């Protein structure tokens, strides 16, 4: 689907082999339902005809809903 919004910032992603990749000044493309539909260069996002929320200096980490764990949870992770 077509993007309705672009979030511009530093984008943390992962390669197919699991390696983390940090893309400086990238844009995450979001559809009207709030789903990620792609990514592009940050400067390119300005020409897409959608609102661009400028978050440069911030880290965009799509897919991370909850990035922390409490010690009491360690014994039951994955159960």
**Average pLDDT value for residue range 40-66:** 90
Vertex 65: Cα angle to 78 and 24 (nearest 5): 120
pLDDT band at 36 (very low <50, low <70, confident <90, very high): very high
Question: Which tops the pLDDT comparison, 15 or 64?
Answer: 15
CA 1/CA 64 separation, integer angstroms: 22
CA 53/CA 70 separation, integer angstroms: 32
DSSP bridge pairs for 23: 11
- The gap from C-alpha 59 to its chain's centroid, in whole angstroms, comes to 8
**pTM of the entire predicted model:** 0.75
């Amino acid at each position: 689907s077509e993007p309705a919004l672009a979030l511009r910032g530093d984008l943390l992603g992962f390669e197919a082999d699991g390696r983390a990749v940090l893309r400086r000044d990238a844009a995450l493309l979001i559809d009207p339902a709030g789903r990620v539909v792609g990514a592009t260069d940050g400067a390119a996002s300005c020409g897409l005809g959608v609102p661009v929320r400028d978050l440069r200096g911030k880290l965009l980490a799509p897919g991370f809903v909850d990035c922390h764990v409490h010690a009491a949870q360690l014994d039951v992770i994955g159960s």
